[in-house]
A and B are shown apart, each in its own frame.
Chain A
Amino acid sequence: MGHTNRKELLAAFLFLLPNLAGFLLFLVGPTIGAFFISTMDWALINDPSFTGLANFQRLVNDSRFWITLRNTAYYVFVRVPINVLISLVLAVLLNQNIRGRNFFRTLLFIPVVLSLVSVAIMWRPLVMSSGVLNQILARVGIGPIPWITSSRYAMPTIIMIGVWREIGYFMVIFLAGLQSISSHYYEAARIDGASGVQQFLRITIPLVSPTTFFISVVAMIWSFQIFDLTTVLTGGGPRNATNTLVMYIYQQGFQNFRMGYAAALGVVLFFIVLTLTVIQKQISSRWVHY
């Protein structure tokens, strides 16, 4: 190695060190640690004991694990497509030279900066059985709808609120994606006599697909982490209808003191998200037009 190379090596080391050290200590290390802890029986107050795969065996037979997994999947797979679709449609509507464009964009973005805890608190009096939403609906002769007091309706309500908060976020990203589509495509289509809907289906959707892919991945990873909204709004009820995987990790680890089991649940979450990301990557390589 020459003199300059050694200098570059030293520079690389120094540039990398601050971030890498924290990254290894607080992320990579703990991720590996999660696998070790998942093989233990550990209440933290006492000493850990090695139990092999017992936590994973327990998990297979734990009906509440399956319930929380099902609820989480419900939330992710219903919420993400709805969110993506609404955000995309709104982005297309706003991607025109219309008056008040910035005003609408700003308005729709505001919920994004609110914490999910505050969103849950805000919505609670609205969606109670005797709440404001039902009072308004009663005036037009609808309801009462058991928004969060029925295990059928509770998760759709949570999804509705989740979408409400995130519309603006993804819409803004879509807008940026749309603006990078050259207007030539649309001009050519118009000359061919294509309608607005046809333009949307034949030009917009294919050409914005890299953005759609990015948003789907991000929305999915976020949705898997649902905790704040359900914890504050419904406490996981009624009848566990909104109890989610991350809530269950918290309950097992920090209320029932089963650190090993909580870590095992975390490991499962890890593999689920990993698998889904790989699948999305596969699908995208076939469908996404770069």
Chain B
Amino acid sequence: MTRYQISRYTSTTILYAVLATVSVLVFAPLLWVIGTSLKTYPETIIRASSLFPEIPQWRNYVDIFDLAPFGRYFVNTLVVSVAVIAITLITSAMAAYAFSRLKWPGRETVFVLYLSMLIIPVHVVLVPNFILLRELRLLDTLLALILTRAFLPLGTFLMRQFFMGIPRELEESAIIDGCGYGRRFTSIIVPLSKPAFVTLLIVTLIMIWNDYLFPLVFIQSRLNRTLTLGLAILAGDFDVQWNIVMAATILSISPLVILFLFAQKYFIEGVALQGTKG
């Protein structure tokens, strides 16, 4: 072997060693939680650090449903996530079209308003939104969670950036054919913007599915809770044993993890696109 080959060999070994170490560090806690969720209660104490249960207790996953209506929590989370995604995708793409393709007075001013709201932490509007929702009689409804999250400026910003990159010439043939704005938007711009929609969908999904503070403040009834809120409350309660809490945790994260494993290409490309287009 030449010196170059040796150094290349060692560096590859080091590379894999580093990657393997990091992967173990990242993944071990997850494995441990899965293991704990299948242990008996005494096992969680006596064999706390072991990754695997002696005999998997699948019952733990059934017992959760006696403690809290997790099925209902799942449906609530799904309804809120899907609604926010649908509203965000449709309305921000439309707004982005107006910002990138149509000329109208005040366009730059309004866009600066969107830009400036981009950096505002949503917590600034926590109290005012609570009061607003109270006046609208929307507190303790899923609609409260949907409306306060569906119009974040990120969507419009992201879509506008993407639309700006679509060559205008592509629209020109449609103009010649006499297509109106609506037609040009739906049949030319939207089909070309699939990556941007995927990005927005993924980013919004991760954010909404996992949201805690807004449900904590805006939701009061047990049956209107989301998975994250229901899980946090279950974990905070006395009389709930660790194996059950861990089973509930796995249950609450599994929909998104499974979706990720099946559609990881979209998740990773979607998130990656933010950096290059933002």
A and B touch in the complex (CB under 8 A): yes
Judge whether B148 is part of the interface by a CB distance below 8 angstroms.
yes
B112-139 CB mask vs A (1 if < 8 Å, else 0) is 0110010111111111111110100000
Chain B residues with CB under 8 Å of A104's CB are: 19, 23
Contact A135 B257 (CB under 8 A): no
Alpha-carbon gap, A117 to B27, bound state (A):
18
Q: Does B256 contact A (CB under 8 A)?
A: yes
Q: Which of B19, B44, B129, B131 contacts A26 (CB 8 A)?
A: B129
Q: How far is the CA of A29 from the CA of B30 in the complex (A)?
A: 42
**Contact present for A273 and B275 (CB under 8 Å):** no
- Closest partner residue, chain A, to B150 (CB atom): A22
9-residue interface stretch from B56-64, B66-74, B165-173, B205-213:
B205-213
Contact (Cβ within 8 A) A173 B274 = yes
CA distance A9 to B119 in the complex (A): 29
A16 within 8 A of B: yes
Question: Known contacts being A15-B185, A19-B92, A115-B209, is A110 close to B128, with CB within 8 Å?
Answer: no
User: Is B264 located at the chain interface by the 8 A CB criterion?
Assistant: yes
Give the complex CA separation of A259 and B94 in angstroms: 36
A172 and B249 contact, CB distance less than 8 A = no
Nearest CB of chain B from residue A68's CB, rounded to whole Å: 12
Inter-subunit contact B132/A18 (CB<8 Å) = no
Measured between beta carbons, the chain A residues less than 8 angstroms from B79 are none
The reply to whether A273 and B120 form a contact with Cβ atoms under 8 Å apart is: yes
A34-B127, A93-B15, A225-B121 in contact; A115/B228 too (CB < 8 A)?
yes
Interface hub of A93, A121, A169, A254 (most chain B Cβ within 10 A)? A121
* CB pair A18 B91 closer than 8 Å: yes
Mask of A107-134 contacts with B, CB within 8 angstroms, 1/0: 1111111111110011101100001100
Instruction: Give the complex CA separation of A117 and B210 in angstroms.
Output: 8
Q: Are A15 and B95 in contact (CB under 8 A)?
A: yes
Chain B residues whose CB sits within 8 angstroms of the CB of A263 once the complex forms: 127-128
B-chain residues with CB within 8 Å of residue A111 when the two chains form the complex = 26, 30
Q: Which of A72-130 contact B (CB under 8 A)?
A: 90, 93-94, 96, 98, 100, 104-118, 121-123, 125-126
Is A107 touching B129 in the complex (CB atoms < 8 A)? no
A62: interface (CB < 8 Å): no
A125 in contact with B242 given A11-B181, A221-B121 (CB within 8 Å): yes
| A33 contact from B117, B131, B148, Cβ within 8 A | B131
Interface residue ranges of A231-290 to B (CB < 8 Å): 231-232, 246, 249-250, 253-254, 259, 262-263, 266-267, 269-270, 273-274, 277
The smallest C-beta distance from A255 to any residue of chain B, in angstroms, reads 11
In the complex, A164 Cα to B23 Cα: how many Å? Answer: 11
Q: What's the tally of chain B residues with a CB closer than 8 Å to chain A?
A: 98
Q: Which of B23, B27, B127 contacts A266 (CB 8 A)?
A: B127
**B156 CB to nearest A CB, Å:** 6
Shortest CB-to-CB span from B216 to chain A, Å, is 8
Bound state CA distance, A263 and B123, in angstroms? 9
Tell me the bound Cα distance from A117 to B228 in angstroms. Answer: 7
Taking CB atoms, residues of chain A closer than 8 Å to B261 are 106
| Choice from A18, A107, A180, A262 contacting B90 with Cβ under 8 Å | A18
Give chain B residues whose Cβ lies under 8 Å from the Cβ of A125: 36, 44, 48, 242
Contacts of B19 in A (CB 8 A): 90, 93-94, 100, 104
Most buried by A among B185, B257, B267: B267
Task: Decide if B221 is an interface residue (CB 8 Å cutoff).
Answer: no
Q: Tell whether, in the assembled complex, residue A115 and residue B212 are in contact, meaning their CB atoms are under 8 Å apart.
A: yes
B residues near A135, Cβ cutoff 8 Å = 48-49
Q: Are A132 and B114 in contact (CB under 8 A)?
A: no
Contact A112 B26 (CB under 8 A): no
In chain A, positions 1-53 with a C-beta closer than 8 Å to chain B are: 5, 8-9, 11-13, 15-16, 18-20, 22-23, 25-31, 33-34, 37, 44
B83 CB-CB contact with A under 8 Å = no
B132, A29: Cβ atoms under 8 Å? Answer: yes
Tell me the residues in window 139-177 of chain B with beta carbons closer than 8 Å to chain A beta carbons. Answer: 147-148, 150-153, 155-156
CA distance A238 to B257 in the complex (A): 32
B147 cross-chain contacts in A, Cβ below 8 A: 22, 26
Query: Can you give 20 A-B contacts (C-beta < 8 A)?
Result: A11-B102, A16-B94, A22-B147, A23-B117, A27-B152, A29-B132, A44-B131, A106-B261, A164-B26, A169-B271, A176-B273, A176-B276, A211-B275, A215-B275, A227-B212, A249-B123, A249-B126, A249-B127, A250-B213, A259-B131
Interface, chain A (partner B; CB < 8 A):
5, 8-9, 11-13, 15-16, 18-20, 22-23, 25-31, 33-34, 37, 44, 90, 93-94, 96, 98, 100, 104-118, 121-123, 125-126, 131-132, 135-136, 164, 167-169, 172-177, 180, 196, 211, 214-215, 217-218, 221, 224-225, 227-228, 231-232, 246, 249-250, 253-254, 259, 262-263, 266-267, 269-270, 273-274, 277
Starting from the known contacts A105-B268, A269-B123, 7 additional A-B residue pairs (CB-CB under 8 Å) come to A96-B15, A113-B260, A114-B253, A117-B231, A121-B231, A225-B122, A231-B212
